Structures are given as structure tokens and as C-alpha cells.
Amino acid sequence: MSPAPTSLCSEPLPVRSLGPFSGLVICVTGLSKEARRQFVEATERLGGQYNTSLHPQCTHLVVQISFLSSYKTYGPIILQALSINAPKVVECLGSDGHKYKQLAKSGKDDLRQDAVMEQFFGLVNTFLHNHRDTWKRRLVIRTYKEKDKRKAFQAVCENFRPVMHYFFLERFLQPADWFEKRLAYTRSVAATSMVGYIVGLGDRHTMNILIDQATAEVVHIDLGVAFEQGLMLKTPERVPFRLTRDIIYGMGVTGVEGVFRKCCEETLCSYPRSSL
């Protein structure tokens, strides 16, 4: 009997229950050692929890923006904005002596709508600038910039390296066993990815993709979001299947251009053309 499949993630982190940061699990990157220490103290003092690594249970990621000065201290008071989603306003003191305010929104608030409206306001400002009467009166709509999520993702990639390949190195010590299990893992990822793509399976986060520690085959659970239902979510799921850096690193040096690609093609070819 093989051991029961276990999640690719560790156990959920405990979360504090009091304070304005109650329920928040925060990870930071790009801060100096002193700024990180002060941030941790402020987070715990306000009822939140700091995590040293980017964990699936993290609710917020704080990234140091390169074009600003570094943050020396964080204000002792965290304000809650008076709006429906109640974002938190954090005041920071920069190394240049100026004060900066950060607005931390929860995961329930979709920032894409804010970004679209800011783009619209920018277009309106172009019209106002090109019109003679409005230009003379200096009419303008003040805008603000949404933090570039791509840059935040790149910062994460620079600071956190894939570790899936260590699972095989630490779990299967014999070379033949290591090669066999890595091959089984790659084949199972290919087959489940293609079948999931065909049936429109969504909600494929790491808590729903398990791995058998004896055979290294992946096991998908929580299959309720199927038949393209993920496209109807508040944040539509547009990727056909989950293929992250960690998943690819587990496949070895060839990555997707080897066993994985061939198995994907053979899986699709096994279906009658009339059913696809």
C-alpha cells in the first residue's frame, strides 16, 4: 500500500485573531534587514502574521519598489480607509526623510478595475490637454499608478527559486529509482494536464494537486470547477492547465521539451477526433 497523497504545500499557517491586521499573513521581499525587522514587529503588534517565504496561505506580498528610496521605519498607527472593502493605510518613512503612504487591499478587491479606470482617466487628460479652453484653465484629473503585477511577479521569481526537483533527490536515493519516479511524475503531469484541458478543469492551485510520495504521480482533487466554469469567476482562469516553474523543474533538464511534450501529444491522439 502506498502512502496517502500529500499536498505540495505545508500545513496552513495559524493566523492571529485580534488587531487591525487580524487574518493577514504577510510576506515581504526586497527590504533591508532592519526594515524587515521593523515590518515584522509592526505586523505582529497589529495582530497579523509574518511569514519568511511566499506561502499559499499568504494574503499579502510587500515588494520594495526600485524607484523609491528604501523604507527606514513604519508608522505606529495603521489606519483603515472608510470604504466598502476597508483597505489599510500604512505610513512609511523613507531613507530620504520623506513620508510615503501605502494602501494595502485584501484579496477580495479586484485591482484590475482600478487600473482600467486610471487608464480611462489618462485618456481624458489627453483630451483636456489638447482642447484649447481646458488647457488654458489647466483642467486635469489627478491619477495614481497601480503597482505593476508583472514586476512584482518578477521580484518573486528573483528571490524564490523552484524546489520541486529536491523532492526526487531527497525521496529517491538510488539513481534508477530516481529516474523511474521522475519519469512517472512527468507522464502523470502530462496526462492529467491534457485531460484537464479537455474537460475545462479549473481551480488547479497547489492545494488541489497532490503527489503520491511512493510513486511520484500527481493526483487531482476538488474537481467541482469544470467545463470552463473557471472563466465565470471574478478573476477568470484563462490558463489551460497548471504548469508553473516548480512543476517544470521536477521534470529534469529537458523541462517540457521532452517526455512531457511527447506524452501530451499521445494523450490527445488517444481521443477520437469526433469527441474533441
Residue 153 has pLDDT above 90, yes or no: no
Pick the CATH number of 6-104 from 3.40.50, 3.10.50, 3.30.2320, 2.60.40: 3.40.50
Residue 234 has pLDDT above 80, yes or no: no
Instruction: Please tell me the distance from the alpha carbon of residue 210 to that of residue 247, in angstroms, as a whole number.
Output: 12
* Average pLDDT estimate for 203-221: 92
Instruction: Give the per-residue pLDDT at 220.
Output: 94
Mean pLDDT over the full length of the chain: 78
* Average pLDDT estimate for 43-61: 74
Provide CATH 1.10.1070.11 ranges for the chain. 162-275
Select the more confidently predicted residue: 184 or 113.
Answer: 184
Instruction: Give the per-residue pLDDT at 1.
Output: 46
CA dihedral 198, 182, 160, 201 (to 10 degrees): 10
For the entire predicted model, the pTM comes to: 0.53
Structural fold of domain 162-275: 1.10.1070
pLDDT grade, residue 145 (50/70/90)? Answer: low
Contact call for residues 68 and 100 (beta carbons, < 8 A)? yes
Provide CATH 3.40.50 ranges for the chain. 6-104
Instruction: Please tell me the distance from the alpha carbon of residue 266 to that of residue 261, in angstroms, as a whole number.
Output: 9
| Burial status of residue 93 (CB atoms within 10 A of its CB: 0-12, 13-18, 19 or more) | middle
